[in-house]
Amino acid sequence: MTVSEQMNYLAVKLDDPSMDKWKGPELLVALNNAQTKLANLIHPGYLTELQVEELNVDVTTGKLDLSTGLLNKVFRGKEGVVFVKVTNGLVATETEITKTKVFENALYTPSLKDPAYYVFGNNIYIVPSAIAKIDVCYLRAPKKLLYEFTYAAASPASTSEFSGDASQGLSASDDAYNGTTDKERVVIYDKGKDAYFVVTDYDATGNGKGERLFTVSPVADANFGTGIFYFLTHSFDALSLAYLTSELNESLHELMVLLAEGICWGTEEETVARGKAAFESAYDEIKLLNVRYTEAPGIGAKGKRSGRQGG
């Protein structure tokens, strides 16, 4: 289902098909929360769409900081690390920090022919520590259910202006996204700059600086070039959702809607029971899926090290 289809389905389940009570942005928030909740609860084997492999990652004295050393934050912490491999070498065997004492025994000390790793304190530790580069496969968080709008530099380039893409359905009316009061102004998120901005002016014609010209505050740390932004507030955060689909496997989309239903019903005292019923139904299905999941032997399985490889 596209996100628009999920929203319409959710509205029907909430007895509000016209979205008179539950507005689009509210349903979108519920679906985003449901997507994160589902990705946290389901077996990692169902989340292959979220797997990322980074090659030639630098480690320092055998340590990689998961907060700063990778392009994405690792989702689900330690459980989100799928495998670690020595670059141009062997896959490392996962172990626990409580079992590393045995490495002091020369017979069980990891080597380039038998490397090991463990995760502790939001760091990956690779042994032997002389290893300088590793390949890491991990889970990243699912992308927010918000359409990605592209932009280009204004003319001339600026730290406060950029030009949107008219073909993506942006408004042809001046001041469509800045309104007349601070409360009406739109908040956007710039993906590349990892920063939030408030739209202070919107010029549909561009006045020679480019059509669909956005002026934002505060100023950015560098000129806007080409990039991606999301709308985060008002009805604008529901734009172009007919072209957007959750990254999670399509077989999980209906389950997302069920969780979102529970979230919505649970916000009002008179419908808490309906929310509880929706959650219980979703949790029963998740539990069944997790029980049914079986990893193929030798494929993507994590070998636990107890002193020697294969032990």
Say whether both 139 and 249 belong to one domain. yes
Over residues 125-140, mean pLDDT: 96
Cis peptide preceding 17, ω within 30 of 0:
no
Q: Over pLDDT 90: what percentage of the chain?
A: 74
Render pLDDT for 164-200 as a digit per residue (tens, 0 to 9): 999 998 999 999 998 777 778 899 999 999 899 999 9
Mean pLDDT of 22-45: 93
Share of the chain above pLDDT 70, in %: 94
Residue 303 belongs to domain spanning: 49-144+245-311
pLDDT exceeds cutoff 70 at 239: yes
Quick: pLDDT tens for 251-289: 999 999 999 999 999 988 889 999 999 999 999 999 999
Across the range 92-99, mean pLDDT stands at 91
Phi then psi for residue 266, to 5 deg, are: -70, -5
User: Where a domain ends, among 243, 273, 292?
Assistant: 243
- Whether pLDDT at 303 is above 80: no
- pLDDT reading at 123 higher than 80: yes
Q: Are residues 253 and 301 in the same domain?
A: yes
Say if residue 252 is in the same domain as residue 237.
no
Quick one: 220 and 209 in the same domain? Answer: yes
Q: Are residues 169 and 297 in the same domain?
A: no
Instruction: Give yes or no: residues 210 and 161 share one domain.
Output: yes
Q: Where are the beta strands (DSSP E) in the chain?
A: 51-58, 63-65, 81-86, 93-94, 116-120, 123-127, 133-139, 149-153, 161-164, 187-190, 195-203, 213-217, 227-231
Lookup: tokens for 40: 């946290």
Say what the pLDDT of residue 297 is.
52
Is the bond leading into 142 cis (omega within 30 degrees of zero)?
A: no
Q: What angle do CA 270, 233, 47 make, to 5 degrees?
A: 75
Q: Which of the pair, 232 or 276, is modelled with greater confidence?
A: 276
Q: With 70 as the cut, is the pLDDT of residue 296 above it?
A: no
Packing angle of the helix pair 253-265, 24-41 (nearest 10 deg): 120
Q: Which residues contact 243 (CB under 8 A, 6 or more apart)?
A: 2, 147
Residue type at position 148: E
Query: Which residue has 């049914």 as its token pair?
Result: 292
Give the integer Cα–Cα distance in Å for 244 and 278.
25
d(CA 284, CA 300): 26
Domain end: 243, 267, 285, which one? 243
pLDDT class of 106 with cuts at 50, 70, 90: confident
Q: Are residues 206 and 288 in the same domain?
A: no
Q: In this predicted structure, what is the pLDDT of residue 309?
A: 40
- Angle made by CA atoms 294, 299, 302, in degrees to the nearest 5: 80
Does 234 lie in the same domain as 171? yes
The model's pLDDT over 193-224, given as tens digits with 9 standing for 90+, comes to: 989 999 999 999 878 888 999 999 999 999 99
Predicted local distance difference test score (pLDDT) of residue 305: 52
Q: Are residues 257 and 295 in the same domain?
A: yes
Q: What is the pLDDT of residues 256-266, one digit of tens each?
A: 999 999 999 99
Asked if pLDDT for residue 110 goes beyond 50, the answer is yes
Contact 90, 112 (CB under 8 A): yes
pLDDT at 311 over 50: no
Domain count, the chain: 2
72 and 158 in a common domain: no
Last residue of a domain, one of 243, 266, 290: 243
Q: Tell me, yes or no, whether 24 and 81 share the same domain.
A: no
| CA count, 13 A, side-chain hemisphere, 146 | 25
Kindly state the average pLDDT of the residues 131-155.
Answer: 94
CA distance 37 to 182: 33
Residue 15 has pLDDT above 70, yes or no: yes
Which among 71, 82, 84 has a CA at the least distance from the CA of 43?
82
Q: Are residues 18 and 152 in the same domain?
A: yes
Quick one: pLDDT at residue 114? Answer: 92
